[in-house]
Structure 1
């Protein structure tokens, strides 16, 4: 089925690492894109970081200078949601992972965005059913979950809730493909969706093997790479994702399921308390 909703202008809410990269990805695909955030400072930082990213991509030959210039010309930054939401055909919320904040955003979007606009959340832990009602248009709400680094990772999880319309699903899938991504459709909300559940299962087993003294962290990572052909081992991946993010996902999953098997890992939590968050802090399981 071909989507009926035309997407000509994109709005990304949240100028953090994920939101800014999603916006740049949309601009590189030719969409006029606005990044909205309540913080002017955050927007300035995002604009500078995106310039730095494209400069490095151009220097390495991964992106033509002309393409970079065209993408930045399509990017706009604003603190005024009231002003920018009425022009958006597709909205992607990438704000803080707090339900109260997301509900407030979707309530405003329900009032401000055009009647045809699709309202998506990039959340990896909060299903769109939790915010759909606040929007007043639950059929046009879904998860559109990108992976970090957005500019590199191909997968996008399109997650429908029970009330998501087929037209919304078709539009979201087509939009993700237009960004050069490889979307997957998840037909039912489950904690962690698919990718995080698969990743979590591997991480849980790796942590148990390490805690049991079966093998060293380095050898567990080496086995994942040389026997399973994973591009990086589970401990390396946790450091890349961010141990605070890994711990948060585990907390959210455990809160949703109540299953003791889903409880956050004590060793990960200890590293987070020590400020060892992985690559972004200079140390996690490994030192960088």
Structure 2
């Protein structure tokens, strides 16, 4: 298997920054791409801040931090990813946006051995692979937030993904990045979100029906079930828009009501109350 040395990351948001950080810390050359140069540079600033925090906490040394930063370049030009060995899409959780991006990547990534991967939380990989001329080289590579701290990566081959592609990305995640990997069938939500999202939506329904406050629901699960974080703070961390989008994708796939985003969640998203990233969700983060 050809080794992976140059990784392209498309999307400089929270997940893209985390993926960029772990790849750079592993000694890889990373090209971080977003729709504008300013957004890509903002992503690099976020990675730099995270690396500095890791150094202060003793997780990495100053030389490691400097080496990781030196290995990252930023761009708004997708063609800069032409020679990448692996491109990881970490764009907004929207099927149309992702399929359009995969169409573009299929044209600009000219490395014949390149793998095109998606960090999607819920969209079937087959739909993304179908818009390319290389479905055998398309795979799901689902990281979890925060990427540097969370050990799991879901590897999702579609029906067309070659065994060699699957083995290559699994070895990359496990051996190069030091992650724990699982392989899951290409079904919306995969393993983690198929289990997690109904739980989060049930907590939202409890708030909407007045069963208990968000604070009390979270306390019930942390103090009563030993969960490290309550479902509503977790939803805020993920992003309420992302939770709603995953719920929609799961509902479209399975048509089961437990996956349908409840009205309260829809209204919060429509009102821009998205959780931590907007400063307000089920909890207030303005002063955090």
TM-superposed CA distance for 1:129, in Å, is: 0.7
Residue 145 in 1 paired to residue 142 in 2? yes
Give the gaps of 5 or more residues in structure 2.
none
- Give 2:65's aligned residue: 68
Question: More displaced, 115-124 or 276-285?
Answer: 276-285
Give the gaps of 5 or more residues in structure 1.
none
TM-superposed CA distance for 1:214, in Å, is: 4.5
SS in 2 for 1:136: coil
Instruction: Sort the Cα spacing of 1:97 and 1:201 in 2 relative to 1 into closer, same or farther, 3 A.
Output: closer
- Of the candidates 227, 231, 234, which is equivalent to residue 230 of structure 1? 227
- Give 1:172's aligned residue: 169
- Give 2:100's aligned residue: 104
Distance 1:79 1:280 in 2: 23
- TM-score normalised according to structure 2 size: 0.90
Distance 1:158 1:258 in 2: 24
Distance 1:17 1:68 in 2: 19
Instruction: Sort the Cα spacing of 1:100 and 1:287 in 2 relative to 1 into closer, same or farther, 3 A.
Output: closer
For these two proteins, the number of residue pairs brought into alignment is 283
Distance 2:240 2:97 in 1: 23
TM-superposed CA distance for 1:30, in Å, is: 0.8
Instruction: Sort the Cα spacing of 1:14 and 1:204 in 2 relative to 1 into closer, same or farther, 3 A.
Output: closer
Q: 1:1-288 maps to which residues of 2 (within 5 A)?
A: 4-82=1-79, 84-111=80-107, 112-177=109-174, 178-186=176-184, 188-211=185-208, 213-288=210-285
Distance 1:66 1:27 in 2: 13
TM-superposed CA distance for 1:26, in Å, is: 0.4
- TM-score normalised according to structure 1 size: 0.90
TM-superposed CA distance for 1:209, in Å, is: 4.2
Distance 1:55 1:118 in 2: 31
SS in 1 for 2:82: helix
Instruction: Sort the Cα spacing of 1:14 and 1:207 in 2 relative to 1 into closer, same or farther, 3 A.
Output: closer
RMSD over aligned CA atoms reads 1.9
Question: More displaced, 141-150 or 204-213?
Answer: 204-213
Whether contact under 8 Å (2:17, 2:43) holds in the other structure is yes
Question: More displaced, 24-33 or 85-94?
Answer: 85-94
TM-superposed CA distance for 1:87, in Å, is: 1.7
